[in-house]
Copies of this chain bind each other. A is one copy, B any other.
Amino acid sequence: MNGDSPIIRMTKQRKIILDALSKVKTHPTADDLYYMVRDKMAKISLGTVYRNLELLSDAGIIQKINVGGTQKRFDADTSSHPHVRCQECGKVADLDVSFNTDFESEAQQSTDYRITGHSLEFRGVCPGCQKVEDNQ
C-alpha cells in the first residue's frame, strides 16, 4: 500500500494465518480466519488474527478487500482483479475477466487527485441463492 515492505518476523501464528488464507479462495473475514486457524492452534486470539492481517496487508503480502457488507475480507492474491459479492448471502468470489483498459491512467486525466489504486467490484446473486429464489 505504501511501497515499503519491511522484513517481517515469521511467528508461528503469522505463518498459520498466512497458510490458511493461501489455501482458500473464499476471501474470508478476520473472524472466518480465526475459526479456520483454531484447528491448528487452539489458543490463538482474535486480536492476533486482526493484528497479523493488518500487518501482512501493509507489507503487501496479502490484500484487504472491501466489497460492501460490514466486514473486511482478505485475499492471498495481491493482484488487482475484480470480485463479485452475493447480495443475498454475502459470499465473495473472484471474477475472471480482464478489461484491457488502464483504469488508473485514464482516471488520472480527469482529476487532480494523484491516483494510486483502484478496485472494480460487482454485485450479484450467487448460484445457490438463485436456486432459492427460483423455488419461491
- Residues of A near any B CB (own CB < 8 A): 1, 66-68, 82, 84, 86-87, 93, 95-97, 99, 101, 103-104, 106-107, 109-127, 130
Contacts and interface: CB of A to CB of B under 8 A. Distances in A.
Contacts of A87: 1, 116
Nearest to A85: B113
Contacts of A68: 66
Given A99-B101, A118-B121, A127 B113 contact: yes
Contact of A113 (B67, B101, B120, B126): B126
Contact of A101 (B93, B101, B107, B119): B101
B111 A84 contact: yes
